[in-house]
Amino acid sequence: MYSIGIDIGGTNTDMGLVSEEGTIICRSNIPTNIYTELQPYVRDIMQCIGTMMKEHAVESIEGIGIGAPNGNFYTGCVDNAPNLTIKGVLNFEEEIHKYMNVPVVLSNDANAAAYGEMVYGGAKGLDNFIMFTLGTGVGSGIVLDGKLVHGSTGGAGELGHNILIPGGRQCSCGRKGCLETYTSARGIVQTYCELKDIPVSPEVNSKMIGELANQGDPIALKTWETVADQLGLAMANSVTFSAPQAIFLMGGPTKVGEPLLKPLQNAFDKYLLNIYAGSCKIRMSQLKANEVAILGAAALIKMKA
Amino acid sequence: MYSIGIDIGGTNTDMGLVSEEGTIICRSNIPTNIYTELQPYVRDIMQCIGTMMKEHAVESIEGIGIGAPNGNFYTGCVDNAPNLTIKGVLNFEEEIHKYMNVPVVLSNDANAAAYGEMVYGGAKGLDNFIMFTLGTGVGSGIVLDGKLVHGSTGGAGELGHNILIPGGRQCSCGRKGCLETYTSARGIVQTYCELKDIPVSPEVNSKMIGELANQGDPIALKTWETVADQLGLAMANSVTFSAPQAIFLMGGPTKVGEPLLKPLQNAFDKYLLNIYAGSCKIRMSQLKANEVAILGAAALIKMKA
């Protein structure tokens, strides 16, 4: 059975027709930020979906999964996402049902990534793991007993906003010291610039710091060691909650490889409570960076299966 | 239907015959630390249970729940508990089944307390909450979708060993800065002594610091404010994991009342990520201090029902 995965970003909306095995058969996209109303936006999404299905002679689909900022699993709505040009509480499920009577499942992008990893990626067969996504921000998705943890509000699994260093760096959420301020791409740049004693500028980015580290630059290496220590602490702390079998990592900054991953394993081992020693592995996402958003969204449908 | 709750402590073992409604019909106890073998220990426990049942003309029970240090839900064993004189991996389930063929459920005491709160106490009707127990140590039990979170190892829910202040106070677990080092009875005494600039001594205890605070002693008040800030931060961080409906508190130090609870609510509100505002209440355990261990243990049986 085929399914549809939709990744709603502030700028673009990516869609894919996904096979049972997790192959993206074809893709389509529309801009997000030209819309200010939900109805024409969903109309155009459904048109793309119809075209993809027709082209591949797919007559019916299992459902439509959507990864979106502030996507609420319980309500099927996107709740007041600050980076969308369509404002308010957006009932995607209801709007989509005007076109097609299939299950619609929404969640945020990090939750979708975690679920995608379980259904199609490196977490197949695991039923208890945590995914950390490092990017512009730091997201997380928690799987327990094979199910995504949504919590009472639908907003569970925001470990990027765990306060790691009380009174630390200012976070965009208004509080201080959140994990995100240290281990997001921006946080990594800030650490590098602090260590190098230069102002933060658009010329410095985390990819560059990764390349420098792999060339042996001592300040870049020190940057990744610092990030590894912070992320390793946050990961070890998360283990005290759900004692997962593995913690997965994905996102641009993780691509640096050894300069992050080696000190990360050391930090994780150092900070892990002894009763969990050896019980939780650090793993990299096995999904391709340019596929994870669509596959994760499509995987959400499997929750209703 | 009646059930049996057993609270295994390092010094004493308390048992109770518990009614369906959560009334402890009668109690019994034996010393724990005179035993070095499991078999005579369980034999004597079963004799007490038999006597209690006979006295109250109870012919059958729903099961036996056990709250024990290192009690493992998955295996029915107590795994190498450092404070027990009976060493090794103790298979209580198997040993009890030699006497009585009823369900046997084990968990650690904080998990049992959380479950007891849900079955018999203030968390009735809630299916997503966290219990923090403040005492010699700091324990926690996490309930999600109406079920205790045991994790992949059976050892989930050790939030007392979340590292709150990296590089902070030395913890008995070997690491530094665990929540327990600040908000256990001992941690509270240490904070008071540091603020008063006196050495830690057996003459100072958390109950006394509570009395002093309620009499208006400024250093005692400052102690509870400090503890409230640390606990409030840990509680707010835990919300990012499972978005609970409530966080419950129990244990000796919570008895101080206002000097802790008022600044705790303020700290929690200050540290809580905005998306959770108003969604999670702070609540005190509604079970009596001298009943919670037996009721919590007895409640565990309801997991098998």
Token pair in block for residue A174: 């208004």
- Three-class secondary structure of residue A157 per DSSP: coil
Q: Residues of B with CB below 8 A from A174's CB?
A: 274
Surface-to-core class of residue B39, CB atoms within 10 Å of its CB (0-12 exposed, 13-18 middle, 19+ buried):
exposed
Assess whether pLDDT exceeds 60 at residue A305: no
pLDDT (0 to 100) of residue A304: 67
CA distance A152 to chain B (A): 6
pLDDT (0 to 100) of residue B171: 95
End-to-end CA distance of chain A: 11
The A residues from 157 to 216 touching B (CB cutoff 8 Å) are 157-159, 161-166, 173-175
Q: Count other Cβ atoms within 10 Å, centred on residue A2.
A: 19
Quick one: closest CA in B to A165, which residue? B165
Percent of chain A with pLDDT over 90: 96
State the Cα torsion A66-A72-A77-A78 to the nearest 10°. -80
Asked if the C-beta of B281 comes within 8 angstroms of chain A's C-beta atoms, the answer is no
| Residue from B239, B287, B250 nearest B16 by CA | B287
Long-range contact list for B209-215, CB < 8 A, 24+ apart? Answer: B209/B256, B210/B253, B210/B255, B210/B256, B210/B257, B210/B259, B210/B260, B213/B256, B213/B259, B214/B256, B214/B257, B214/B258, B214/B259
Residue pLDDT tens, chain B, 305 long: 999 999 999 999 999 999 999 999 999 999 999 999 999 999 999 999 999 999 999 999 999 999 998 899 999 999 888 889 999 999 999 999 999 999 999 999 999 999 999 999 999 999 999 999 999 999 999 999 999 999 999 999 999 999 999 999 999 999 999 999 999 999 999 999 999 999 999 999 999 999 999 999 999 999 999 999 999 999 999 999 999 999 999 999 999 999 999 999 999 999 999 999 999 999 999 999 999 999 999 999 998 65
Query: What is the ipTM metric for this complex?
Result: 0.94
CA B155 to chain centre: 14
With 0.90 as the threshold, say if the pTM is over it: yes
For residue range A194-227, list pLDDT tens digits in order. Answer: 999 999 999 999 999 999 999 999 999 999 999 9
Higher-confidence residue of B43 and A83: namely B43
Question: Quick one: average pLDDT of A9-28?
Answer: 96
pLDDT (0 to 100) of residue A188: 98
Q: How far apart are CA B184 and CA B134, in angstroms?
A: 5
Q: Which of B154, B241, B273 is opposite residue A241, by nearest beta carbon?
A: B241
Percent of chain A with pLDDT over 70: 99
Q: How far apart are CA B103 and CA B64, in angstroms?
A: 6
Q: Residues of A with CB below 8 A from B237's CB?
A: 162-163, 237
**Residue pairs spanning A and B at CB distance below 8 A:** 115
Residue of A183, A237, A269 to mutate, testing the B interface (most B Cβ within 10 Å of its Cβ): A237
pLDDT (0 to 100) of residue A122: 97
Q: Which band of pLDDT confidence, cut at 50, 70 and 90, is reported for residue A69?
A: confident
Query: Which contiguous run of DSSP H or E holds residue A45?
Result: helix A38-55
CA distance A159 to chain B (A): 6
Q: Residues of A with CB below 8 A from B161's CB?
A: 240, 273
Q: Which of A161, A244, A276 is opposite residue B240, by nearest beta carbon?
A: A161
The runs of H, that is alpha helices, within chain B are 38-55, 92-97, 109-120, 180-183, 185-196, 206-214, 218-242, 258-271, 292-299
Q: Residues of A with CB below 8 A from B162's CB?
A: 237, 240
Domains of chain B are 2-113+291-303 (3.30.420.40), 125-284 (3.30.420.40)
- Three-class secondary structure of residue B59 per DSSP: coil
Decide the pairing of beta strands B281-284 and B246-250.
parallel
